[in-house]
Amino acid sequence: MRNICFFNTLKTWGGGEKFYLENALGFKEKGYNTLVACDDHSILSQKIFSHDLVKLSVNNVKNLSFLNPFRLYKVYLLLKENDIDTLIFSTSQDLKLGGIAAKLARVNKIIYRRGLAHPIRGSFLNKFLLKHVITHIFANSEETKRTIRENLRSQIPENKITVLYNGIKTSKVDTETQLEEIKRNNPKEIILGNAGRLSKQKGQILLLDLANVLFQKKIPFKLYIAGTGELQNELEREIKKRNLQETVILMGFVKNIDAFMNSIDIFLLSSIWEGFGYVLVEAMIHSKPIVAFKITSNPEIVIHEKTGFLVDYPNMDDFVYQTLQLIENSQLRKEMGARGLSRVKEKFKLEDSISRLERYLSQ
């Protein structure tokens, strides 16, 4: 393995894109010739600009771009000209375009990183790509691994899939900076936080039910929700309809997630599924206790009653109860937060994650 290319053409930013940036930087530091293929107008492109990484421009990729011979040939040339021997991608559009181009370019290792805990459609094309084009598959959680094979057991033997958890930087973590926008009206006020794309999958609408109960109980609190997405207008309407404008604040995109986590007391994750809840790890590295649903990969990250509370979905009564447990007990918040920090350092350290990926790619 000499020349490794991280291939991600999405324009948006999320946990997957963060994985590509951090691992590209990690492999570069280890001495590999590391390249990143991305869209010129993506957030990933903006971020790699300041890190002196080699960028390969692959623009405006759609799900059917692989059917365009000119698009396919362009990617083929990029891979051949840069002598790429290892290619990693995640999305459906990149699997098709990047995978086929890599096969034609005789790239040695063509690796599919699956980050969604949703079954892959058992289409003829998917079966062909995963059986005859992809050489390696790794998943970001045991739950994701399980869903990969749900419709494709005959094409993908279990031993072809390896689980490699995402990692997070555990050294030089900023634990001091706070967001000016997050204000505590009095010392007794509890600050609740949620961060993620505003979508049905992330389930922020359920947090308004929680806020309703806390408001009716006259508990001093504020709920700050960081993120943007298609659910924003609906959330704004519901907040106004329930008269929660003073207690539930939609913050939009928050650039400094460290400062956000430093500013809250409890992190709430309302997602109805997660491939790997990276935001949970981000909260835990800042010693924040968690309340989340006991779904998909969450139990692989959060230890129930040790680093937070896991609640059966969609039991919002229990979600409220467990949140109240933490609101009313500052010592419990402190103890769970400390155990969460220890768990991250033990299991989700970025340097260890990159080393595991390096060993995996060297096999």
Element (H, E) at 112: strand 109-114
Q: Give the pLDDT confidence score for residue 188 in this predicted structure.
A: 94
Dig out the tokens for 239 from the structure. 């907040």
- Residue 251: name the closest of 231, 223, 222, 227 by CA: 227
- The CATH homologous superfamily to which domain 3-167+349-362 belongs is Glycogen Phosphorylase B; (3.40.50.2000)
* Per-residue b or e along 81-108, where b marks 16 or more CB atoms closer than 10 Å to that residue's CB: ebebbbbbbbbebbbbbbbbbbbebebe
State how far the Cα of 64 lies from the Cα of 168, in Å rounded to an integer.
Answer: 34
State how far the Cα of 310 lies from the Cα of 102, in Å rounded to an integer.
Answer: 42
Q: Give the pLDDT confidence score for residue 192 in this predicted structure.
A: 99
In terms of phi and psi (left: phi > 0; alpha: psi -120 to 50; beta: otherwise), the region of 54 is beta
Dig out the tokens for 69 from the structure. 């011979």
CB proximity list for 266: less than 8 A, separation 6 or greater: 190, 191, 192, 193, 288, 289, 290, 291, 323, 326, 327, 333
Q: Taking the domain 190-347, which CATH number applies?
A: 3.40.50.2000
- Taking 50 as the pLDDT cut, the residues of the chain under it are none
Q: Give the pLDDT confidence score for residue 14 in this predicted structure.
A: 84
State how far the Cα of 273 lies from the Cα of 290, in Å rounded to an integer.
Answer: 16
Query: For residue range 232-241, what is the model confidence (pLDDT) as tens digits?
Result: 999 999 999 9
Dig out the tokens for 30 from the structure. 């280890």
Does 69 sit behind a cis peptide bond, omega within 30 degrees of 0 on the bond before it? no
Where do you find CATH 3.40.50.2000 in the chain?
3-167+349-362, 190-347
State how far the Cα of 80 lies from the Cα of 32, in Å rounded to an integer.
Answer: 17
Element (H, E) at 309: strand 308-311
Q: Give the pLDDT confidence score for residue 200 in this predicted structure.
A: 96
